[in-house]
């Protein structure tokens, strides 16, 4: 029962669009699918780091207010940076988009993994969410190995969910349906990332 409650709470949180969703969407519509998968694995790895922190019971991190503040401002700066780059990027055909906005659209698996990892690790809300989840919903009597399985499950679900989004958004048929709307989707993604970045230090 405990696992079902945790898994449900985690999946419902996953359904809420956040910075990761808009990054996944932007990479999926502009780059080959494999780069979207690399981004997704980066996001999953960052979630895994925070899950390890939660599993080890390091709730003490909450007491380091300066660390959370640093994470908030670094995360805000990162999201604002990406948002501005998306807003400044010109409208281009899909097959030539890699020539523009090189930081976000560089066709390098390691770079896309890093972009995803930085997005996840610089979002202090991930840390707070997982610490709260394990503090409130996981019983003290739950064994360490069981907690590890919970963490492995949630990391896997995050990665699979993002990869599924990539698979859908990255299809040629999907891109064809979007057509010129891709340009506006990029701008919407830029605005949302900028919004998340400006809002992050205030929350």
Whole-number pLDDT of residue 87: 77
pTM recorded for the entire structure: 0.77
Least Cα distance to 170 among 27, 14, 43 occurs for 27
pLDDT band for position 99 (cuts 50, 70, 90): very low
- pLDDT computed for residue 43 by the predictor: 95
**DSSP secondary structure letters along 148-171:** HHHHHHHHHHHHHHHHHHHHHHTS
Residue 57: is its pLDDT beyond 70? no
Helices (H), strands (E): how many in the chain? 10, 0
Q: What are the structural domain ranges in the chain?
A: 2-10+21-202
Greatest Cα pair distance in the chain: 56
> Which residue would you say has higher pLDDT here, 74 or 183?
74
pLDDT of residue 96: 45
| Higher pLDDT, residue 152 or 125 | 152
Highest mean pLDDT among 81-90, 98-107, 134-143, 179-188: 134-143
């Amino acid at each position: 029962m405990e696992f079902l409650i945790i898994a449900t709470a985690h999946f419902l949180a996953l359904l809420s669009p956040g910075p990761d969703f808009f990054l996944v969407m932007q990479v999926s519509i502009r780059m080959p699918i494999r780069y979207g998968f690399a981004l997704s694995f980066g996001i999953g790895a960052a979630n895994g780091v925070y899950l390890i922190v939660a599993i080890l019971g390091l709730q003490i991190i909450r007491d380091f207010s300066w660390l959370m503040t640093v994470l908030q401002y670094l995360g805000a700066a990162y999201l604002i940076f990406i948002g501005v780059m998306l807003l400044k990027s010109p409208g281009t055909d899909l097959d030539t988009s890699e020539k523009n906005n090189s930081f976000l659209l560089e066709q390098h698996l390691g770079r896309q993994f890093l972009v995803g990892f930085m997005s996840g690790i610089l979002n202090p809300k991930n840390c707070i969410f997982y610490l709260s989840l394990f503090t409130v919903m996981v019983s003290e009597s739950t064994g360490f190995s069981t907690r590890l399985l919970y963490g492995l499950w949630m990391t896997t679900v995050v990665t699979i969910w993002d990869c599924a989004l990539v698979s859908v958004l990255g299809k040629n048929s999907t891109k064809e349906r979007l057509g010129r709307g891709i340009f506006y989707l990029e701008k919407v993604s830029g605005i949302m990332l900028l919004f998340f970045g400006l809002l992050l230090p205030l929350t």
